[in-house]
Each structure stands twice: as structure tokens, then as C-alpha cells.
Chain A
Amino acid sequence: MSRQSAGTAFAALLRRDFLLAYRRRAELLQPLVFLLVVTTLFPLGVGPSPQLLANIAPGVIWISALLATVLSLDSLFRSDYEDGTLEQMVLSGQSLALIALSRTVAHWLVAGLPIVLLSPLLALWMNLPEEGMSILIKSLVIGTPVLSLIGAIGGALTVSLKRGGQLLSLLVFPLYVPLLILATSAVSSSVAGLPYTGQLGLMFAGLIAALTLAPFATAAALKLSLS
């Protein structure tokens, strides 16, 4: 077997993940339906007052996005672990961090990006003022990759456990705190007519930090789970 270049391996993995995702379309829809259902519960729970909903909209949408992401994270490495693909990937001689990054990118494209695309609908339901709409989308575009990157560490740590799903949420939710604070504050500030670029800038810094550090932690966690 000749050793492929890193770029070829990355592209091949991405292609494989898309194909797998396409063949399991119904599974992909679940977190998105979940997102819609959870967001629907909030107006039912706190009352339909437009002003109240507008106030809590950024938080509700972001928390629903967190929950939906964590729901999809459990399956991130699971099937590859169970059928032995993961072992083959480790043996392939490619950098495991690169493999982890490719899986994470694929996860964001099939689980994170749809959340971004659905967010205008959620904003409409939650009566978010129009000024906040573009910032909400921006915050999700910057933030959801971070959710995938950090979540992948948790997914890799719990992949060898039989019921890793609950543990996964316990592990990653505390790590999502800064992101949630910054994102909701950016959206609320923009609605209030205050500057919000600082929050978005910090989120972007977080994205870069997660992009450079998280794949290595994920790789270490994968190696550990396979040992």
C-alpha cells in the first residue's frame, strides 16, 4: 500500500464521510428535528409574549444548537469504532490529528451548517428583532465549528464506552460556556444597538485556538480509546 499525501487522505476521508452521511439521511435529520422541537417548547413554556421571546431568543436558539450538536456528537466516531475502520485509520500512517480534523469538518458540514441554515426560521419563531438576525447567523457560523471541534474530543473519549452519550454531554457542556456567553451577548448587543464586534472577534479567536489544538486532543483521545 503506497502512502498517500495528507491532502489526498483528507479529501478521501471527507468524500467517504459525505457518502456515508448521504446514505444515512434520516439519522442526520434527527438532531435538526430535535432543534426545531426544543425551540418550540420555549414559547410554550414561558408564554407567547413577543417581547419576552425576543429577549430570550439568542439564548434559546444557542442552547438548542448546543443540545442538537451534542446529540449528533455521540455517533461521530462510534460506527467507525465498532466496525474497526478507526483502527485501520490509525494504522494508515497518516497523522491521526489530520484524520480527526477531517471527521470534525465533515461533522460540521452535515450537522453544524444545517443549524446555521435553520437559524433564520428559529429567529422568526422566537421573534428576534431583524437587527439581530445577521449577527445570529454570523455567531453561529463562527461558533458551530467550535462546538464540533471541542465536542469531537468528548466523542473520542467516550467512543469505547457502551453508553457514552450522557457522559459526553456532562464532559462538553462546561467547555461550551464561554462560547455561549460570547455568542448570546453579541446577538443581544446588536439588538440593543451596542457594539458587538468584540464578542465576535473573541469567538473567532476561540475558533482558531480550537482549530489548532482540538484535533490533537481528539487524536490523543482516539488513540487512548483504541488501546
Chain B
Amino acid sequence: MNRLYLFFHKTGSPPWFYRFSGYLIPWLWVTFVVLTAIGLYLGLVRAPADYQQGESVRIMYLHVPAAWMSMMIYGLMAVWGFIALVWRIRIMEVLIISSAPVGAAFTIIALITGSLWGRPTWGTYWVWDARLTSELVLLFLYFGVIALYNAFDEPRKAARAASLMAIVGAINLPIIHYSVLWWNTLHQGSSIGSSGSSIHPSMLWPLLIMAIACKFFYGANLLSRSRLRLLRQDHRKRWVQELLSEES
């Protein structure tokens, strides 16, 4: 059998996924902790305070990566959902619903850190600015997916419904983003784009390290959640029984 094909089938099988992710998770957590330590040290201690925003600029090292993650995870959920709907791979169904709480948490972190930063800088905790609003709508989209999943009794059906909702939401997300952007904007534009960055390296590095650390956090958290969910769904199946008798 073709190697790639084999890998595809293996990853789709819950026992294999369980074993494989078990090896991976400790490394992901360690990398996350190390990167976060470096990123926070560089960001909170070494990086200079901003000449305009003062020390409050340091909240950016958490805020911006969290905002990036909130959008990336929703996009990934649509990808998992598409695979789950088209190829009926059960691992993907588990991945999508395990992603949703992590994504929602990052969205909430981005909103809270943003409003804490907004108070000294803009003089208010909340404004109906484009980015804040689209982030809030994104949070509602996450809540929708989670609520829809919980409304069904049967996990596989629930996951497929959540997948469809995630895809519909992901198609709408850019439309929501641009319509809101055009509606009202106060937020500063992106400092980092495809054409390079306008941030000084001493501030850029901790930001990027934190962004990568967040991705490792997502990976570790996602796999841990998925393993738990798989165990709970399959607790009567043989592989789980064997696993339990092995460990005891």
C-alpha cells in the first residue's frame, strides 16, 4: 500500500491516534512551556516600553497571538469539518469539537486583554470598533458551534452538524470582517503583513515566539482533549478495554 495512504488510514483509526498522540503530547507541552518562558522573558523584561503606549504595550505579547489563534482555529475547524463531512473520518469529528473550546478561550483572551489595553490607551474598555466587533461575532460563532454540538444526543451526528456550521461560519467570516471593517474602524492597522513588519526586532521577536508558543499550546491541548473524548466515546470498545487492562 502507498505510504501516504497507509498514514492516512492509520491516523484515522482511534487506537493508533490515541497511541501516537500520547507520544506527541509531552513534547508539545514542553516546547510550549520553554517557548512561553523565553517569549515572556523577552517581552516583559527585555523589550523596551513603547514611547507612546508605555508599559501597557506589553499586553500585546499575549493579545496579538491570542487574536491570531482565535481566527486560525476557526479556519482549522472548517478544514477538519470539511474532511469529516466528505471522508467521514471520525478523528476529524473529534478534532473539530475539541478545537471549539480552545478557540473560544483564545477569543475571550483576545477580547479581555484588548479591553484592558484599551482602557489606558483609548480611554475606554470597549468601543464598537471593527476588529473588536468582528472578534465578538467570532466568539458568537464559536458559541453557536458548541451549542449545536451539545444539542444533539448522538456524538457523530452532533459532530457532523457542528462541522457544517463551522464551514458556513468560515465562509461568512471574511464577509463579516470586511463589512464590519468598512462600518467603523478605530483599531490601528496591522503592523505585520505580507510586505514585512514595521515593528522593531526587539519587540517583534517576543511576539513571534509567543505566537508559536500559542500554536504549541493549541496542539497539546487539542490532542489531550481529543484523547479524552475518544476514550469517553469508545469506552465500551475493545481497544479501550485492552488499554485499560494494560495500564492497570
Inter-subunit contact B137/A217 (CB<8 Å): no
Please tell me if A39 contacts chain B, counting CB pairs below 8 Å: no
Decide yes or no: A175 and B172 within 8 Å by CB, A157-B165, A167-B147 being known contacts: yes
Interface residues of A in 193-227 (CB under 8 A from B): 202, 206, 213, 217, 220-221, 224-225, 227
Decide yes or no: A171 and B179 within 8 Å by CB, A157-B165, A178-B172, A217-B164 being known contacts: no
Ranked 5 nearest A-B pairs via Cβ? A178-B179, A174-B140, A171-B144, A181-B183, A181-B179
Of A164, A171, A202, A221, the most chain B CB neighbours within 10 A belong to: A171
Tell me which residues across on chain B come within 8 A of A26, comparing CB atoms: none
Interface residues of A in 157-210 (CB under 8 A from B): 157-158, 160-161, 164, 167, 170-171, 173-175, 177-178, 181-182, 185, 202, 206
Inter-subunit contact B140/A181 (CB<8 Å): no
Tell me which residues across on chain A come within 8 A of B25, comparing CB atoms: none
User: Chain B interface secondary structure, helix, strand, loop or mixed?
Assistant: helix
Inter-subunit contact A171/B157 (CB<8 Å): no
Inter-subunit contact B148/A221 (CB<8 Å): no
Q: Give the interface size class of chain A.
A: 20 to 34
Inter-subunit contact A157/B175 (CB<8 Å): no
1/0 contact trace for A143-159 toward B, CB 8 Å? 00000000001000110
Inter-subunit contact B85/A174 (CB<8 Å): no
Inter-subunit contact B175/A206 (CB<8 Å): yes
Inter-subunit contact A170/B172 (CB<8 Å): no
Tell me which residues across on chain B come within 8 A of A174, comparing CB atoms: 137, 140-141, 144, 169, 172, 176
Inter-subunit contact B180/A221 (CB<8 Å): no
CA distance in complex: A225, B148 (Å): 12
Residues of A participating in the B interface, judged by any CB pair closer than 8 Å = 153, 157-158, 160-161, 164, 167, 170-171, 173-175, 177-178, 181-182, 185, 202, 206, 213, 217, 220-221, 224-225, 227
Decide yes or no: A220 and B164 within 8 Å by CB, A177-B180, A185-B183, A206-B175 being known contacts: yes
Inter-subunit contact B164/A167 (CB<8 Å): no
Inter-subunit contact B164/A157 (CB<8 Å): yes
Of B141, B152, B168, B183, the most chain A CB neighbours within 10 A belong to: B168
Chain A's closest residue to B150 (CB) is A167
CA distance in complex: A72, B219 (Å): 41
Our count of residue pairs bridging A and B at CB distance below 8 angstroms stands at: 69
Inter-subunit contact A178/B175 (CB<8 Å): yes
Tell me which residues across on chain B come within 8 A of A220, comparing CB atoms: 85, 164
Would you list 7 pairs from A and B whose C-beta atoms are within 8 A, ordered by A residue? Answer: A161-B152, A167-B151, A173-B140, A175-B176, A177-B180, A178-B176, A217-B167
CA distance in complex: A160, B179 (Å): 33
Tell me which residues across on chain B come within 8 A of A158, comparing CB atoms: 148, 151
Tell me which residues across on chain B come within 8 A of A164, comparing CB atoms: 151
Tell me which residues across on chain A come within 8 A of B168, comparing CB atoms: 153, 175, 217
Chain B's closest residue to A171 (CB) is B144
Inter-subunit contact A213/B171 (CB<8 Å): yes
Chain B's closest residue to A170 (CB) is B144
Inter-subunit contact A170/B143 (CB<8 Å): yes
Please tell me if B161 contacts chain A, counting CB pairs below 8 Å: yes
| Min CB gap B116→A, angstroms | 24
Tell me which residues across on chain A come within 8 A of B182, comparing CB atoms: 181
